Structure 1
């Protein structure tokens, strides 16, 4: 009789502290839909419109956006969103590539809210890899000229192994220091992650 309460207490503790199978405590962030300007409109383009031709379109507010509105006879250029000129869309900078790579990287882009276009407003484009992780070329040059003999420029760029070698050799007795000033000036020495200077 005395063992029963102890077993019940143990079972109760297990039920309360063991998570349910298939349950998840992870909260996923839901990004709000852009309903600003023309981004919140769904427009019907003429089926026979020619690429680049200016046409009149009828638009209604997307189902996901509040405050439904209908706009008739809006002027727009006949083209899909992925055919827009570069000035009419923004792309996320690719960060998983090297700036020395000659291949174009796939990244997500979205049309500006003032633009009317056919198809999905968010699309993928191949862009050159020219991302920056925040290293300043000016700061690198100043460090190279002033404290280059101690490897401060290479420490700043994250080039730890060569920076330690430069420190203990006193900048290669001045030769390494002068060479680094020239190589940084022409952009040959870059940050450790291959990113561009700002």
Structure 2
């Protein structure tokens, strides 16, 4: 999928976009390996030309086969801090991040359960198979009842006081929700964190 994403750049990609991708790849490599690649050791001009040549050798018809399905990123701790969504090849692509495969599985099951009939037959003369189906339907309904209350939210905005513009942009927004609770401009105390996780649906 990464290879296909690079090909989406097309043959008219700018040198700056190519350099951005190379920076990302080198940064990822350095974070995942003990042997580091020095940025001053890279011949950026030559590498950019090589990358452009690879793209130009790809048949134009290859780009037409790419669909624009939603991309879900499940990243580990070594690469999650990188702004993958800002890569030139993904800027026009719908992209989401999920924390784990189990979370993705949960979302898929939720969609599947929405398409299952939830009619519960209470006739006491039902056979064992119908009773099992009723039990499954009840479980499906209970599964769908796990929702997040949008009014129960705890926020932490600019705790290190180094994101003044971000605080200025979002402070009015978070304060507009009267039921929300949180801290702005400083780190929450241990008790505040405990209360936020215990009493709110969203942190």
Question: TM-score, normalising length from structure 1?
Answer: 0.26
Higher alpha-carbon Rg: 1
Structure (1/2) with the larger strand percentage: 1
Question: TM-score, normalising length from structure 2?
Answer: 0.25
